[in-house]
């Protein structure tokens, strides 16, 4: 069957169309993406503005048209931290449902972590042993650990690259004092939960998902995305430690000229790098492997698991 996953995230609204069958690997058929940056459309009260809701409705309508054009049988719509944490989340969801017919399922941060973990487990298989999975989104950082398909520990922290850039790094390039303050904040937040994971034992394999990790790995020398899904890509902490000071002195325009860095993501790359570096350091990770699958694939896999 042809499924569409509609992901309303903090940075983008992304429709992923796949051909999927129980027991088979979902095959991507089409991708429709629009940058919306909901986290930046909040008013002083933390609510998504009327203009922001109008844009969201229009983007969802476009995604539905794309899904229809591609012959999608069922759309699985969900929203993450930007909608989840908006002061007017109920009103946003009601407007979207009324004007598009789409009922967005709002995932909790822990659900995000668990579904992303499921995708990584299916990608790497049982032979990977105990997995530690890190995912840096626009609004939050998800961390999950476990032996099975359901993680033994899963948390979500408000350390997304977009959120932190907006709240902590207003300059371009950022002020060194702001960078140091953000570094302290990120490390303090992550350090609080490291012990909850450490009691489960050291992981056998550490995995990074999300666009942030992919771009960091690319500027550190990993293969281009055009070389295919099955090329092994990794990111070493040593490389991050070398790149973070360089990124901190660059403007967004200068970061765009780095390999694999898009114009839309360039402003928040430093914040993402600070989170990645902190997580790898505090969890004692020297190197992690990139996983092509993440939350959207996890949603698809969970749906297939529950088909009759």
pLDDT of 39 over the 80 cut: no
CB 123 within 8 A of CB 133: no
What integer is the mean pLDDT of 2-9? Answer: 96
> What pLDDT sits at residue 229?
83
The CA distance from 146 to 153, in Å, is: 7
β 131-136/141-146 pair status: antiparallel
Parse the chain into domains and list their residue ranges: 2-106, 125-295
C-alpha angle with apex 304: 298 to 308, nearest 5 degrees? 155
> What pLDDT sits at residue 42?
80
> What pLDDT sits at residue 106?
97
Residue 281 confidence class, pLDDT cut points 50, 70, 90:
very high
Residue 135 Cα distances to 45, 161, 207, 259, angstroms: 28, 11, 9, 21
pLDDT tens, residue by residue, 9-32: 988 999 999 999 888 889 999 999
> What pLDDT sits at residue 41?
80
pLDDT tens, residue by residue, 131-150: 999 999 999 999 999 999 99
Instruction: Choose the weakest-confidence range: 223-227, 253-257, 297-301.
Output: 223-227
Residue 226 confidence class, pLDDT cut points 50, 70, 90:
confident
> What pLDDT sits at residue 108?
97
Residue 62 confidence class, pLDDT cut points 50, 70, 90:
very high
Token digits of residue 24: 């088979």
pTM: 0.95
What integer is the mean pLDDT of 94-116? Answer: 97
Q: Which CATH superfamily is domain 125-295 in?
A: Exopolyphosphatase. Domain 2 (3.30.420.150)
> What pLDDT sits at residue 122?
96
Residue 300 confidence class, pLDDT cut points 50, 70, 90:
very high
C-alpha angle with apex 85: 194 to 101, nearest 5 degrees? 130
Q: Do domains 2-106 and 125-295 have the same CATH topology?
A: yes
2-106: which CATH architecture?
Answer: 2-Layer Sandwich (3.30)
């Amino acid at each position: 069957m042809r499924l569409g996953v509609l992901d309303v995230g903090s940075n983008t609204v992304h429709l992923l169309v796949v051909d999927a069958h129980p027991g088979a690997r979902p095959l991507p058929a089409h991708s429709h993406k629009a940058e919306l940056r909901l986290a930046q459309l909040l008013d002083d009260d933390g609510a998504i503005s009327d203009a922001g809701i109008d844009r969201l409705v229009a983007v969802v309508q476009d995604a539905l048209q794309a899904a229809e054009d591609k012959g999608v049988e069922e759309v699985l719509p969900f929203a993450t931290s930007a909608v989840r944490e908006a002061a007017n989340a109920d009103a946003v969801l009601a407007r979207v449902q009324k004007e598009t017919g789409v009922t967005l399922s709002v995932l909790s941060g822990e659900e995000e972590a668990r579904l992303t973990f499921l995708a990584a487990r299916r990608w790497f298989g049982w032979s990977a042993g105990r997995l530690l999975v890190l995912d840096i989104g626009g609004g939050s950082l998800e961390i999950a650990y476990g032996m099975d398909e359901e993680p033994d520990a899963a948390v979500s922290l408000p350390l997304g690259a977009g959120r932190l850039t907006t709240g902590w790094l207003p300059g371009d390039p950022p002020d060194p004092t702001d960078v140091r303050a953000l570094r302290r904040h990120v490390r303090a937040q992550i350090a609080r939960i490291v012990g909850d994971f450490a009691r489960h034992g050291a992981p056998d394999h550490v995995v990074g998902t999300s666009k942030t990790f992919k771009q960091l790995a690319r500027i550190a020398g990993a293969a281009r995305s055009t070389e295919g899904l099955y090329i092994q890509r990794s990111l070493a902490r040593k490389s991050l430690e070398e790149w973070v000071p360089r990124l901190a002195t660059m403007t967004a325009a200068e970061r765009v000229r780095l390999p694999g860095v898009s114009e839309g993501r360039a402003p928040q790359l430093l914040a993402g790098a600070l989170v990645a570096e902190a997580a790898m350091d505090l969890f004692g990770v020297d190197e992690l492997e990139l996983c092509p699958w993440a939350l959207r694939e996890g949603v698809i896999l969970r749906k297939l698991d529950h088909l009759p």
